[in-house]
Chains A and B, each alone.
Chain A
Amino acid sequence: DGGITQSPKYLFRKEGQNVTLSCEQNLNHDAMYWYRQDPGQGLRLIYYSQIVNDFQKGDIAEGYSVSREKKESFPLTVTSAQKNPTAFYLCASSIRAGAEAFFGQGTRLTVV
């Protein structure tokens, strides 16, 4: 099936540990995005990538890191520097910047 796959669906980590969230797409899309959603809130942009080996910070990049070594993959690392990491994380992709974006099913991260 074509689409965007985020894994795992639920993730639990202890405070102080880094954790990496996976996002894979087989749509041959150039652009990929990571968003964070807190309960009852909208989506805020963490990082985005328009093309392989290139990415830019979004509005809330502090405490997060990304890589874009392959077109189909855009993993997000939540580092121990992120003060409030518990949230719902959504990955999206579009064929190019400005085109219609499609989302994965999200990863719910809980840090205890």
Chain B
Amino acid sequence: GIQVEQSPPDLILQEGANSTLRCNFSDSVNNLQWFHQNPWGQLINLFYIPSGTKQNGRLSATTVATERYSLLYISSSQTTDSGVYFCAVQFSGGYNKLIFGAGTRLAVHP
């Protein structure tokens, strides 16, 4: 069936470390987004990236649509990067709903 899988489920880093979060999806997509959920529950848009590579400061993302995965890179992590990172996709083929993965919970310690 249609699936969005994120890995790892949990990640603990020391401040300054780099990390890679992965999102696998089961079919071709019209939309792929990465979000950061802060401790107050707000979902912050990081990237809209159905294909290709984008960078925004210490964060970058790559989606390889033909191989059905996306990667989120966090470099020189800071304690404020802590929270949950979600991948969400909208599949092609007539599905008009944005489906979320289960998330990666990141804790960055000083």
Contacts and interface: CB of A to CB of B under 8 A. Distances in A.
Are A and B co-members of a single complex?
Answer: yes
Contacts of A90: 41, 43
A18 B98 CA distance: 27
Contact of A42 (B30, B40, B86): B86
Interface residues of A, number: 27
Contacts of B100: 35, 42-44
A98 B96 contact: yes
Which secondary structure dominates where chain B touches chain A?
Answer: strand
B90 A97 contact: yes
B45 interface: yes
A94 B97 CA distance: 11
B49 to A, nearest CB: 10
A105 interface: yes
Interface string A85-112: 0001010101001111111011010000
Contacts of B103: 42
A110 to B, nearest CB: 14
Nearest to B45: A102
Given A43-B86, A48-B96, A50-B96, A100 B31 contact: yes
Nearest to B30: A98
A105 B37 CA distance: 10
Given A43-B88, A103-B42, 14 more contacts: A37-B41, A42-B102, A44-B100, A48-B97, A88-B41, A98-B90, A99-B31, A100-B31, A101-B33, A103-B43, A105-B40, A105-B42, A106-B41, A106-B42
17 contacts: A31-B96, A33-B97, A33-B98, A41-B102, A43-B86, A43-B88, A44-B100, A45-B98, A45-B99, A48-B97, A92-B98, A98-B30, A98-B31, A100-B31, A101-B33, A102-B45, A103-B43
